[in-house]
Amino acid sequence: MCSIMGFSKKTRSREEILPYFARTRSRGPDMSRIVETPSGYLCFHRLAIMDLSEDGMQPFSLDGDYVVCNGELYGFRSIRRELAGKYTFHSNSDCEILLPMFHEYGLSMFSRLDAEFALIIYDSMTDSLIAARDPIGIRPLFYGYDTDGGIVFASEAKNLVGLCKEICPFPPGHYYAYGKFVRYADLTTVREYLPDDEETICRSIRNKLIAAVDKRLDADAPLGFLLSGGLDSSLVCAISAIVLGKKIRTFAIGMDTDAIDLKYARQAADFIGADHTEFYMTQDEVLESLEEVIALLGTWDITTIRASMGMYLCCKAIHAHTDVRVLLTGEISDELFGYKYTDFAPSDRAFQAEAKKRVDELYMYDVLRADRCISVNSLEARVPFGDLDFVRYVMQVDPARKRNTHGMGKYLLRKAFDQDNILPHAILWREKAAFSDAVGHSMVDDLKAYAETRYTDAEFARLRRKYDYCPPFTKESLLYREIFEKYYPGQASMIADFWMPNRDWEGCRVSDPSARVLANYGASGV
């Protein structure tokens, strides 16, 4: 991960902007630089992943233009070869291709990128900033307006607190240029479903996921893998071990009292021959870390905060005890293939609409969680299930085939690898458990019990009325909101809503986001 900021005007001096930029130093602890443009600033904190030498340091410049990018540009070497005849490259960094692409293709460059990125370009011809974000929003970017009306871009909302009155998430799949936001990519709007039969679909899912993992193994810094023991992370690890042809390093975490998934993670790791490390967290560690986690996340959402506790503490331990700098994770499979609650979708159309909503909003929930928990510990996240080709294909699969009609969620994904023998059958066909539950049911129970001690019923009824936007509906949600407001006052609208099952569906009218409250949870949490 890296951290970027861009100021379109010099309302403040370099010394005045430094404290705001310094808030995300952990995203890029290796080296920092601020470049003045004629009208503003570009700022960069580097976490060295590609070309570890100083040659890979940003901003890159070309004919008066500058660029800062937090991203990984897959397939950059082929683009570089195409451009090498006209441009001279001085590093082995993937991001050095961006300005030559801008000079060659202009604003159409963004739709040519196979990448997860957030970037800011200083365009010297117009003395203005251009910004863009990948189609899913895997890399974070926010914006706001300074007191003189100049636009400011930043990797995280915390960079803009106290600087901008209103902080807004930069919309995924958009670029900003010359005063306007323009959508350049839409992965989730499907006008016609693929005619492929089940065999073809499963073969395509298999091949595309392998390709997605393969391209994310390209790094000059040490790789590691988060392994929960569930289907998604286990597949990523198993594929990676085969592609790399060597022992990989896997990491798992659970509560010290009732960790559910550690035994499954160990089973998967043993099967693929991984160098596996287990971490344990205690009730005290969870409660002591709660405020810190909400501050680093920039959210008040119950599900996101619960699921972040284990990931944050796991990544903190990885950073403290290993040299790993890049982590592959299993996020984004649920949004594509379905959650436990989507078993209750009343129709194919409703299932597809829910998948679209979940993928479109990923940047506010699971993707936000993974980015902040990993980057605050000076690590980089890579998400194979978020591969653009993979997402585009799965979204185009007929929802009638994706729905749970086999008594097992994610049937197509499981069947796609059923004949490969890369995972134990018991892992490949295991019921899904939500991550916030899988680290141990006691963790969520501890958080809820702690919130109960913070407020009487009368205090809860009074304090929740302070919030017109997405008002808290439990003592736990009130606790999270009050901590959020301490660090991001008045910025609650950065998050669209509480992540909850679709309450319009029969079977999903629940008051807690945990899958444990659903009637179909079954054997997921054992």
Rounded Cα distance between 356 and 360, Å, is 6
What is the 8-class DSSP label of residue 279? E
Q: How far is CA 43 from CA 21, 31, 168, 170, 181, in A?
A: 8, 11, 19, 17, 22
Options 2, 43, 164, 373, the catalytic residue: 2
Contact 156, 298 (CB under 8 A): yes
Pick from 363, 314, 296: nearest CA to 116: 363
Is residue 314 among the annotated active site residues? no
Beta carbons within 8 Å of 194's beta carbon, 6+ residues apart: 201, 393, 396, 397, 398
Residues 316, 256: Cα–Cα separation, whole Å: 17
Task: Using the structure block, give the residue that is written with the tokens 């679209």.
Answer: 356
Triad 44, 46, 52: Cα angle to 5°: 140
Structure tokens at 497: 């809503």
Give the integer Cα–Cα distance in Å for 374 and 47: 12
Question: Using an 8 Å Cβ cutoff, are 65 and 123 in contact?
Answer: yes
338: region left, alpha or beta (phi > 0 left; psi from -120 to 50 alpha): left
Closest CA to 461 of 471, 469, 470: 471
CB contact set of 377 (below 8 Å; sequence gap of 6+): 26, 312, 315, 316, 318, 319
DSSP conformational letter for 432? P
What does the H/E/C string look like for 59-110?
Answer: CEEECCEEEEEEEEECCHHHHHHHHCCCCCCCCCCHHHHHHHHHHHHHHHHH
44: which strand partners?
A: 4, 33
Place of tokens 């490259």: 89
Give catalytic residue positions.
2
